[in-house]
A and B are shown apart, each in its own frame.
Chain A
């Protein structure tokens, strides 16, 4: 499986799309230098908001552009024939692809994250530990999306896979707020139905520390631990389901 992981990572890292996305990500982090003066004293808050949002957004773009093609290329160009006829199970193949994509996301997010933390630390004059934790939170959010994109790639083409991932991402963001609204307006049946969806779709809000970072509030340890464990379990389940689907697929 090690070979599949390394090859998947190598393939993604050599993709030119990655460089373009990274360049735009860096430009976005520094864009607050231009927009900042317009906010009348809120430059640092704006820099934190745009910076963290950029890491998530560009990570999502990498997942959509590269992640969706990682498996599709193998199936479409039939390179997987030479791999799956060697002593490697289909599940190991899928897991290898997922880990390779995760490594790509980890490396690119860390590059953007280090630039972001350095920039914020320069602006505030002190090292921002909360910014570091917020970046880790974004990486874990992206990990869940890696699981979803790999699952989508087992039964959808890249275009539909991208739509599926975007839909899951948006729905996952909306559900917790929708449950609160349903409870507020006493629509308990709707709230119950939404709660079922809450188990299926990823709740990225557990790992969204942006507000805490912007308003300089500490991130509670239990929230960090719960968020990280949730992301790991959710991603593992997605990869497991993807493996089960791929196991039965005719190649």
Chain B
């Protein structure tokens, strides 16, 4: 079953003085149920644009998108967990209040116990009552992971999930994501950190200058770094 499907998606950004930048040039990609797919590529390749289009944050110029076989702007968002690149929260709210606010939009009856459970899982329980403005970059990233998985979504869309974390944090979050993968959740993530790709992903899609240049199972790739350098040269 196809959970995410993009067909011939094109997106152009208009910059001042009529200048245009083609961020995506007719990309087509499919993510099946239970798959863990990594989207890798250099800066400005179009990774974040593709993710934003999947989530309906950006409107494509042309092409077709479907998530769970439906329009991305429908009620299926309950089944999606999203972590943006460099997530930001309400600075005047505490970590716990932020998580409660975001989760209540998906499940209005969420018990506080579940919020605390999630904060414990991502290692933020001790800082739960501190305003987010006092959080470090890594703590914000952990809170970002918590808000993405708290409602037990079927599909996780993560933009640079392990960036900003220290080595212990990376290991902990990777282990949470691996557990979700074992539970059969579908994970679609973009990353710059190539060593994180192999343990998490089943398949690697390489995007460059708005085009998909490679789409292979991890088993067929061998060394991911060599593979990427070879393709992008």
Chain A interfacial positions (CB closer than 8 Å to B): 2-4, 7, 10-11, 14, 77-79, 81-89, 248, 250-251
Contact = CB atoms under 8 A, between A and B. Distances in A.
Q: Is the interface of B mostly helix, strand, loop or mixed?
A: loop
A14 B133 CA distance: 14
Interface of B: 52, 55-59, 73, 75, 77-78, 80, 82, 84, 86-90, 92-93, 101-102, 104-106, 108, 147
9 contacts: A78-B84, A79-B88, A79-B89, A82-B89, A83-B105, A86-B77, A86-B102, A250-B57, A250-B58
B129 to A, nearest CB: 16
A3 B55 contact: no
Residue from A3, A77, A82, A87 having most chain B Cβ neighbours under 10 A: A82
Contacts of A248: 59
B52 A251 contact: yes
Given A77-B88, A82-B84, A87 B59 contact: no
A86 B106 contact: yes
Residue from A2, A11, A87, A248 having most chain B Cβ neighbours under 10 A: A87
A85 B93 CA distance: 20
Residue from B82, B84, B90 having most chain A Cβ neighbours under 10 A: B90
Contacts of A77: 88
A79 B147 CA distance: 12
Contacts of A87: 75, 77-78, 105-106
A86 B102 CA distance: 8
A83 B106 CA distance: 10
A3 B105 contact: yes
A79 B90 contact: yes
Nearest to A4: B105
A88 B55 CA distance: 12
Given A87-B75, A87-B77, A81 B105 contact: no
Top 3 closest pairs, chain A to chain B, by CB: A86-B105, A85-B82, A251-B57
